[in-house]
């Protein structure tokens, strides 16, 4: 791919939009489903949990989340208007039954009251956080004390081999993420690191190293 094509792909991965947005979103869903399921399973979901997801994409995984436990309330946050709309269409039955809701935000301020959720997960959004410490503070604010947060991301050592990550991605290895965590109200509860074989956004088969850091809120 040419440099301008790689830059466009990187832009779509961070903020799907326009004609290509849904196509890219479905590709992300298929590529990331293993990581997403890992993040969800590490939340140890219980009945009556209130779950927040940051950056849900097309939210094709929400059915999997609801299959884990009864009486869960799910809220999805997105910066992409297209993904907000697509997620509501794909999960229309859950929205109608008021089990799921989808909200837009600006990438910085979380538009919910204090202590609203007791579980949180996000998958492959860390690279695009403009102000990581400020966002961690916001996430801590909307979570209840002792709430669990699954933060799932691919390792720097893998991500830097991809041709599009020079365009707007900030890459991390687990120790670098923990440096951020240690400056926040969160602490490490457990770490789940895995390797899986996936197709990249440019069509190559590669081994991807990723981690889910399960954090506990100590505000």
For the stretch 117-149, pLDDT in tens is 999 999 999 999 999 999 999 999 999 999 999
Separation of alpha carbons 106 and 210, rounded Å? 26
Best CA proximity match to 216, nearest among 135, 144, 124, 125 = 144
What fold, for 3-217? Rossmann fold (3.40.50)
pLDDT of residue 202: 64
Residue pair 122/57 in contact by the 8 Å Cβ criterion: no
Sorted by where each begins, the domain ranges of the chain are 3-217
**Average pLDDT for runs of 10 along the chain of length 219:** 71 72 75 95 97 95 96 95 92 97 94 98 95 97 98 95 88 96 97 89 81 95
Whole-model pTM over 0.75 = yes
């Amino acid at each position: 791919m040419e440099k301008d094509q790689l830059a466009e792909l990187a832009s779509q991965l961070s903020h799907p939009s326009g004609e290509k947005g849904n196509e890219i979103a479905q590709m992300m869903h298929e590529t990331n489903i293993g990581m997403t399921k890992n993040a969800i399973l590490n939340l140890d979901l219980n009945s009556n949990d209130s779950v927040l997801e940051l950056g849900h994409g097309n939210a094709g995984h929400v059915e999997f989340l609801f299959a884990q436990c009864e009486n869960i309330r799910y809220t999805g946050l997105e910066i992409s208007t297209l993904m907000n709309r697509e997620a509501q269409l794909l999960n229309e039955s859950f929205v109608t039954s008021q089990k799921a809701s989808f909200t837009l935000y600006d990438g910085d301020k979380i538009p919910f009251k204090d202590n609203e959720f007791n579980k949180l997960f996000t998958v492959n959004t860390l690279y695009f956080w403009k102000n990581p410490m400020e966002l961690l503070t916001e996430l801590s604010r909307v979570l209840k004390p002792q709430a669990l947060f699954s933060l799932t991301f691919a390792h720097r050592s893998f991500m830097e081999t991809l041709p599009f990550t020079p365009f707007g991605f900030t890459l991390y290895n687990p120790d670098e993420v923990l440096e951020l965590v240690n400056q926040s109200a969160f602490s490490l509860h457990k770490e789940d690191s895995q390797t899986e074989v996936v197709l990249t956004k440019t069509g190559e088969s590669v081994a991807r190293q990723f981690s889910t850091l399960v954090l506990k809120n100590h505000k």
